[in-house]
């Protein structure tokens, strides 16, 4: 009987060639947990954007300045997303499936884009004092993004933290359900009471965008729950 022993894991020649020709260096170390740190940075940008929106709800005259602020946040969030994707392309062994990393990174970044869109509409439409429903939806967004940050901060040890991650995802779902009720109530109020069609169109659009962003938070919660189901 011939026993073949190999002390080192051999990298296929094609990968050696690819590294030499492209100038890229693949990361072959056992799992790279830096992804989780980058996810957390991205989630915090989402949360920061929700706080900026809340500041406009408290003082609508600050909308122009806050649009500039959310634009800066969006650029910073894009930079983090680019780092995640670049790192994914250069990492051979990832801590969770590649498609999960790609989807979570893009959806966290998309959340900031949605908040940017709301603030840009607020300025573009020359909105005045916010409707109570818009204020309440924004508060729910703050709560939802706080739970996203909490859940993402626990991803480094999914098996140990699965209960807390699932708890955060369930809370986000409840916030989204509350948001649905507020949205429907406010739109009904608009059609019953608003006589100015332009004002109705403006507020309906803003309310829809707020509700869509809460839906997006629920999408992220579903994704986090799926990751727990895979790896816990």
**pTM, two decimal places:** 0.86
**pLDDT (tens digit, 9 = 90+) per residue, 21-46?**
444 444 444 456 899 999 999 999 99
Q: Across residues 145-174, what is the average pLDDT? A: 97
Model confidence pLDDT, tens digit, residues 167-181? 999 999 999 999 999
- Spatial separation of the C-alpha atoms in residues 5 and 202, rounded to whole Å: 71
State CA 210 to chain mean position distance: 14
Contact in structure between 160 and 153 (CB atoms under 8 Å):
no
Closest CA to 82 of 45, 47, 38: 38
For residues 189 and 141, is the Cβ–Cβ distance under 8 A?
no
- Please tell me the class of the 33-231 domain: mainly alpha
pLDDT-above-70 percentage for the chain: 86
- Using DSSP's 3-state secondary structure scheme, residue 232 falls into coil
158's tokens: 């999914």
CB under 8 Å to 141, separation ≥6 — which residues? 50, 53, 54, 115, 210, 213, 214, 217
Is 134 in contact with 205 (CB distance < 8 Å)? no
* Domain locations in the chain as residue ranges: 33-231
- Name the least confident of 10-14, 191-195, 209-213: 10-14
């Amino acid at each position: 009987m011939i026993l073949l022993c190999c002390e080192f894991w051999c990298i296929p020649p094609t990968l050696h060639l690819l590294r030499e020709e492209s100038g890229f260096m693949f990361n072959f170390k056992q799992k790279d947990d830096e992804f989780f740190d980058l996810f957390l940075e991205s989630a915090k940008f989402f949360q920061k954007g929700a706080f900026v929106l809340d500041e406009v709800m408290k003082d609508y005259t600050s909308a122009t300045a806050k649009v500039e602020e959310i634009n800066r946040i969006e650029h910073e969030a894009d930079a983090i997303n680019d780092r995640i994707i670049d790192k994914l392309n250069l990492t051979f062994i990832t801590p969770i499936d590649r498609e999960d990393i790609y989807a979570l990174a893009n959806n966290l970044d998309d959340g900031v884009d949605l908040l940017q869109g709301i603030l840009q509409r607020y300025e573009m439409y020359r909105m005045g004092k916010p409707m109570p429903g818009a204020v309440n939806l924004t508060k729910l967004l703050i709560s939802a993004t706080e739970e996203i940050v909490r859940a993402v901060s626990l991803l480094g040890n999914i098996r140990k933290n699965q209960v807390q991650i699932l708890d955060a995802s369930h809370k986000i779902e409840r916030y989204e359900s509350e948001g649905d009720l507020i949205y429907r109530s406010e739109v009904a109020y608009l059609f019953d009471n608003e006589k100015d069609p332009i004002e109705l169109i403006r507020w309906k659009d803003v309310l829809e965008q707020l509700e869509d962003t809460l839906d997006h938070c629920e999408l992220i919660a579903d994704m986090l729950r799926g990751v727990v189901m895979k790896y816990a």
